Amino acid sequence: MEKYDLIAPCHFGLEAQTKREITDLGYEVTHVEDGKVTFAGDAEAVACSNLFLRTTERILLRVGQFRAVTFDELFEATRAIPWERYIPKNGKFWVAKANSIKSRLFSPSDIQSIMKKAMVERLKEKYHCDWFPEDGADFPVRVTLMKDVVTVCLDTTGVSLHKRGYRKATVKAPITETLASALIMLTPWKGGRILADPFCGSGTFCIEAAMMAAHMAPGRNRTFLAEQWTNLIPGTCWKNAREEADDMLDPGVQTDIQGFDIDADVIAAARENAERAGVDHLIHFQRRPVSEFSHSGKYGFIITNPPYGERLEEKENLPELYRTLGERFERLDSWSLYVISAWPDTERYIGRKADKNRKIYNGMMKTYFYQWPGPKPPKRPAVREAANNRKA
pLDDT in tens, the chain (392 residues): 799 999 999 999 999 999 999 999 999 999 999 999 999 999 999 999 999 999 999 999 999 999 999 999 999 999 999 999 999 999 999 999 999 999 999 999 999 999 999 999 999 999 999 999 999 999 999 999 999 999 999 999 999 999 999 988 666 667 999 999 999 999 999 999 999 999 999 999 999 999 999 999 999 999 999 999 999 999 999 999 999 999 999 999 999 999 999 999 999 999 999 999 999 999 999 999 999 999 999 999 999 999 987 665 578 899 999 999 999 999 999 999 999 999 999 999 999 999 999 999 887 889 999 999 999 999 876 545 555 555 55
Over residues 296-315, the pLDDT tens digits come to 999 999 999 999 876 655 78
DSSP 15: H
Contact criterion met (CB below 8 Å) for 256 and 296? no
The count of other CB atoms within 10 Å of the CB of residue 378 is: 9
Contact criterion met (CB below 8 Å) for 322 and 199? no
- Is the Cα dihedral 244, 250, 255, 257 positive or negative? positive
113 burial via Cβ count (<10 Å: 0-12, 13-18, 19+): middle
Count the alpha carbons within 13 Å of 243 in the hemisphere toward its beta carbon.
7
The count of other CB atoms within 10 Å of the CB of residue 185 is: 19
- Three-state secondary structure call for residue 79: helix
Domains belonging to the chain, first-starting first, are: 4-155 (3.30.2130.30), 177-216+241-381 (3.40.50.150)
